[in-house]
A and B are shown apart, each in its own frame.
Chain A
Amino acid sequence: QLQLQESGPGLVKPSETLSLSCTVSGGSISSSGYYWGWIRQAPGKGLEWIGNIFYSGKTYYTPSLQSRVTISADTSKNQFSLKLSSVTAADAAVYYCARDGFAYDFWGQGTMVTVSS
């Protein structure tokens, strides 16, 4: 069974860079045809798509965050990562990683990130 697990600091200072990793077990992020994505959810709000990385390495980002977001993959560790620069309080959220084959069918449990000095 595929499993995804987010990891990273739960507290980030304003203007700094948020960095999270998603470790995948039970399957390879290099498997043909899959996207690996990041989605976030601010407290009490809906789901917001951040971006995806395709198994080939091609990346896709939501326009509103494109200038601040980088998603990358480390196939040797079977991980993919999210970096969000210049964070503000508006970036505080639960961050989920997920796999998209035909939809987001496997999700991590999510990790809460707080932005505060």
Chain B
Amino acid sequence: EIVLTQSPATLSLSPGERATLSCRASQSVSSYLAWYQQKPNQAPRLLIYGASNRATGIPARFSGSGSGTDFTLTISSLEPEDFAVYYCQQRSISWTFGQGTKVEIK
């Protein structure tokens, strides 16, 4: 089973700052990696698929990069609505999720 490890567990930042979230896979997942945002009491929302493709309606401040085992989600300038939990997920070999990174207001 492919394990996805996200870091950091919590990121404390202020609105307007840049957020950089990491996801590392225990073996190569090629570009079969997605990122989701989840707010309290809501279903997750797809942000990025195929490691770097923004989903429909996702603002340009969200970007994804990486391939193989190391991936990054970048939020270029945090808006108040971006404070949430972010999960990476691979679908290269079966499906698994990372444990999540919480982006909180500093």
Contact = CB atoms under 8 A, between A and B. Distances in A.
Given A103-B89, A105-B55, A107-B44, A63 B1 contact: yes
A47 B97 contact: yes
The interface centre, meaning the residue of A47, A63, A107 with most chain B CB atoms within 10 A of its CB, is A47
Contact of B43 (A46, A100, A102, A108): A108
Contacts of A103: 34, 46, 49-50, 55, 89, 91
Contact of A49 (B43, B95, B100): B95
Interface bin, chain A:
20 to 34
Interface residues of B, number: 22
A96 interface: yes
Contacts of A98: 43
B96 interface: yes
Interface string B16-40: 0000000000000000001010100
B50 A47 contact: no
Interface in A29-69: 37, 39, 46-49, 52, 60, 62-63
Contacts of A116: none
Nearest to B99: A46
B23 to A, nearest CB: 13
B16 to A, nearest CB: 28
A109 B34 CA distance: 20
B62 interface: no
Given A103-B34, A103-B55, A103-B89, A37 B99 contact: no
Interface of B: 1, 34, 36, 38, 43-46, 49-50, 55-56, 87, 89, 91, 94-100
Interface of A: 37, 39, 46-49, 52, 60, 62-63, 96, 98, 100, 102-105, 107-110
Given A46-B99, A103-B55, 5 more contacts: A63-B1, A96-B43, A103-B50, A103-B91, A107-B43
